[in-house]
Structure 1
Amino acid sequence: MRVWHAMWIERIDRKIAAIRQRQTEQERGRRNRPSPPEWVVELGIGTGRPPIQVHEGDCHMTGSRRRPVSRDEARRLLADGLHACTH
């Protein structure tokens, strides 16, 4: 019985150590994650990939073709007639 209990205690201790390690790595990842860009331009398909819309950096409607832009460039694009995201 002692051997059996010792084996289970060892398994439990290894599982606890693995969970703590995973939690530590997740917390480190959250702390080191770069902040999202303030503004994003959604890009079109085709030659030159023309910009389509301006989105906030954390907008959920941004497509997969995008690039971050500065606030000044976003203003310039909007002043040039580019549409802003309605969300």
Structure 2
Amino acid sequence: MRGGEQPLSRLDALCFTRRVVAQQAARQPALTDRWIAAEEQRQAERHRGEERGPQPAQWLIQYGLNRSHVDAVHTGDCWVAARSGRCRPATRQQARDALRHVPACVHCRPDTALGMLE
């Protein structure tokens, strides 16, 4: 304490604490509003990215473990192809050409979708 100053009473300390808490409380809604606005912007950007993103392939060619030969042909939404992890997107013509040499997936039947059944 400096000359002549009185120590803070408990009441003075509590009043000071209340003013500090009130100031902080007044700032928090604005801070929270900024966080909300930033999250809304991130969600909007994510949504725009999903809309603009590449369209899923209609046809997939599954390669063997050594990735040098073709094992099967799938439609783009085949669950077997999604699980294999060895598929690459293909054009309609590439899928038709591959089906002349390898079997069609028995689950998604790309040969039927391509009109190639004999």
* Range of TM-score over shorter length: 0.7 to 0.9
Residue correspondences, number: 85
What is the identity percentage for the equivalent residue pairs of Structure 1 and Structure 2? 36
Give unmatched runs, 5+ long, in structure 1.
none
Partner of 1:8: 28
Bigger Rg over Cα: 2
Match of 1:64 in 2: 85
CA shift for structure 1 position 16:
1.0
Which of structure 1's runs of 4+ aligned residues deviate more than 2 A? Answer: none
How far 1:58 sits from its partner (Å)? 2.2
Query: Counterparts of 1:4 and 1:70 in 2: how far apart (Å)?
Result: 60
Name the structure with the higher helix share: 2
**Aligned partner of residue 68 in structure 1, secondary structure:** strand
Cα RMSD of the aligned pairs, angstroms, is 1.7
- Structure 2: runs of 5+ lacking an equivalent: 1-20, 108-118
TM-score scaled to structure 1, two decimals?
Answer: 0.82
Shift of 1:83: 1.3
State the secondary structure of the residue aligned to 2:71. Answer: strand
Once the two structures are superposed, what CA deviation does each residue of 1:25-46 show, in whole Å capped at 9, x if it has no partner?
1111111110011111010023
Instruction: Measure the CA separation in 2 of the matches of 1:86 and 1:26.
Output: 36
